[in-house]
């Protein structure tokens, strides 16, 4: 069997078998007291194949003899439900629920639904909620774990490409509220994340492209070798559900996941410094997702954000024409649109003050300065005229590409005459 690989994301944390270590110190100087506390957690990320095969004990070992609530998305339940239930038959007190939610209904109500199920089955303080599904499932389950009994452990087994390299391995869990994406949430890392690329074989092509956008994000701002791997193998993997070439699939997913975790480890709980490379593609994209009624998927919106941010960088002289072309071509080749037809620059600008508030007083817009490098721009660097001109360039490119596509199809239909 393919060997698992493991990263401990919190070096030196005293965590074993799902236990968390904590210490507190009370200082008393007469009429002034102070309580200093420290909480150490470890998040273990392991990569395996065929995670729910009877002879693969990895997920069962993560439980370490504890009871659990397993939360599955409807598609996971439909495709893998019997296999997953059979896998846990040897483990006593494992309970199941199917979470019927989408990005459009990822709300506090969904979190309460999970906590009520956890209460109904008598989930204990040290017993985990195990999410098996995409980003919606892991987000809701993680937030439910943070709230149930003021905090129980949680594990993630992400089954989408977005989950494998982003949503399933991060520290944050959030739900939408009041037409704001990810408005309510916590920093509450999972104990374990199990990465299994085999789930991608049953993922629709659109969802694979959706996840590739998150990998392209990381490659553009911090990992040129990853970009070259995508350039060489991305389309082949997209066409076959990440089944072939096996080594390329493993390397791309693992490198993206490790890169994401390395960036998070710099400031896992976003204390003090709000400049994060992994926010590339996540400044304009929340508006696009919400304004489209979530008809634009998360990764698709991220791709549009990447395109606009790259075009802005080029307009400001920070990115060469050649590197801009490589970035936009990779997005287009993957099948990701560069612009959303419903995008209003004025409406987009109106959302930027809330981004500035969220990032503690400045925009911290991540823009590429080459393949594998980036820098941060402030709110003063961006204005409506610059945004409008950059959008216009992307629209012209899209229209040109559409005309060329029609011409090629017409030529093919006429027998090349």
Active-site residues, by number, are: 172
Question: Could you identify the residue written with the tokens 């389309």?
Answer: 235
Displacement of CA 325 from its chain's centroid (Å): 25
Helices (H), 42-121: 58-63, 74-87, 108-120
Do residues 41 and 107 touch, judged by C-beta distance below 8 A? no
203/256 Cα distance (integer angstroms): 19
Query: Could you give the count of Cα atoms lying within 13 Å of 210 in the half-sphere of its Cβ?
Result: 19
Residue 360: what are its φ and ψ, rounded to 5°? 65, 40
Chain centroid offset of residue 210 CA: 10
Output the CA angle 173-177-180, nearest 5 degrees.
90
Burial label, 309 (beta-carbon count in 10 A; 0-12, 13-18, 19+): buried
CA distance 349 to 370: 26
The span from the CA of 96 to the CA of 399, in Å, is: 49
Cβ proximity of 83 and 117 under 8 Å: no
């Amino acid at each position: 069997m393919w060997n698992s690989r493991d990263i401990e994301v919190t070096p030196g944390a005293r965590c074993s078998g799902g236990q968390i270590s904590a210490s507190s110190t009370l200082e008393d100087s007469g009429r002034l007291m102070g309580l200093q506390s420290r909480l150490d957690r470890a998040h273990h990320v392991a990569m395996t194949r065929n995670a729910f095969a009877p002879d693969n004990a990895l997920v069962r070992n993560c439980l370490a003899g504890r009871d659990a609530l397993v939360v599955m998305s409807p598609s996971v339940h439909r495709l893998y439900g019997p296999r997953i239930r059979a896998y846990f038959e040897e483990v006593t007190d494992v309970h199941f629920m199917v979470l019927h939610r989408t990005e459009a209904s990822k709300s506090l109500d969904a979190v309460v639904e999970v906590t009520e199920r956890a209460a109904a089955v008598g989930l204990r303080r040290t017993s985990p909620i195990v999410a098996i599904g995409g980003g919606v499932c892991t987000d809701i389950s993680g937030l439910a774990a943070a709230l149930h009994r003021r905090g129980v452990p949680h594990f993630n087994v992400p089954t989408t490409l977005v989950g494998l390299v982003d949503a399933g391995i991060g520290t944050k869990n959030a739900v939408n509220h009041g037409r704001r994406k990810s408005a309510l949430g916590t920093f509450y890392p999972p104990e374990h994340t199990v990465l299994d690329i085999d789930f991608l074989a049953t993922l629709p092509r659109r969802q694979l492209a959706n996840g590739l956008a998150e990998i392209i994000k990381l490659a553009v701002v911090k990992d040129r070798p990853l970009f070259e791997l995508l350039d060489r193998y991305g389309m082949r993997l997209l066409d076959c559900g990440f089944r072939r070439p096996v080594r390329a699939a493993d390397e791309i997913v693992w490198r993206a996941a490790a890169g994401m975790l390395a960036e998070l480890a710099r400031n896992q709980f976003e204390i003090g410094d709000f400049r994060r490379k992994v926010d590339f593609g996540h400044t304009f994209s929340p508006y696009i997702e919400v304004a489209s009624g979530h008809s634009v998927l998360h990764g698709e919106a991220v791709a549009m954000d990447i395109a606009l941010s790259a075009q802005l960088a080029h307009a400001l002289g920070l990115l060469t024409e050649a590197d801009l072309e490589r970035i936009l071509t990779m997005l287009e080749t993957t099948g990701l649109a560069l612009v959303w037809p419903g995008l209003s620059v004025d409406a987009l600008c109106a959302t930027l003050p809330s981004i500035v508030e969220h990032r503690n007083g400045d925009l911290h817009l991540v823009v590429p300065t080459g393949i594998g490098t980036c820098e941060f721009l402030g709110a003063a660097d961006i204005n409506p005229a610059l945004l409008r001109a950059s959008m216009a360039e992307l629209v012209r490119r899209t229209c040109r590409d559409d005309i060329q596509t029609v011409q090629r199809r017409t030529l093919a239909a006429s027998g090349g005459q």
